[in-house]
């Protein structure tokens, strides 16, 4: 960590109190600098963690809302299909064919067609 001074072989190290205090001071300053650096990194990570948690909550709420909306739409489809099934027998043969064809087309709608209907570019997505 620190350069070691060379001394002649066979002679013991002789450090003065001043040298020892200077060395301790240097080591303390080094450790203080490391502590400061680690503290800043820790604060940065804590900030990033808070941001990630905020994003997680936001995405969770969006996902939950979309899930509820999907269930609503599925229920609407089920009810409208039931209404169509009850009404079709009362229509003329020509109109029955038209309604049945329209229902079949509705069952085969693609994601691209839905995007075009609501005005969202498929490459961009809704959050684009």
Give the pTM: 0.56
Name the burial class of residue 84, with classes exposed (0-12), middle (13-18) and buried (19+) by CB atoms within 10 angstroms of its CB: middle
Q: What is the pLDDT of residue 126?
A: 52
8 Å CB contact between 50 and 69: no
Question: What's the pLDDT tens digit per position in 19-62?
Answer: 999 999 999 999 999 999 999 999 999 999 999 999 999 999 99
Residues of the domain holding 109: 91-123
Residue with tokens 């080094």: 30
Please determine, for residue 122, whether its predicted confidence score (pLDDT) is greater than 90: no
Q: Are residues 68 and 115 in the same domain?
A: no
Residue 28 belongs to a domain: yes
Question: What's the pLDDT tens digit per position in 90-120?
Answer: 999 999 999 999 989 988 988 898 888 888 7
- Structural domains in the chain (count): 2
């Amino acid at each position: 960590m620190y350069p070691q001074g060379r001394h002649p072989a066979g002679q013991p190290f002789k450090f003065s109190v001043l040298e020892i205090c200077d060395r301790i001071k240097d080591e303390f300053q080094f450790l203080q600098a490391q502590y400061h650096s680690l503290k800043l990194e820790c604060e940065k990570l804590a900030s990033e963690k808070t941001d990630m948690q905020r994003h997680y909550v936001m995405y969770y709420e969006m996902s939950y809302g979309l899930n509820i909306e999907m269930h609503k739409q599925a229920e609407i489809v089920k009810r409208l299909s039931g209404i169509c099934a009850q009404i079709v027998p009362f229509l003329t043969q020509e109109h029955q064919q038209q309604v049945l064809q329209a229902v079949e087309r509705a069952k085969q709608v693609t994601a691209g067609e839905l995007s075009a209907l609501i005005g969202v570019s498929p490459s961009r997505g809704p959050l684009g």
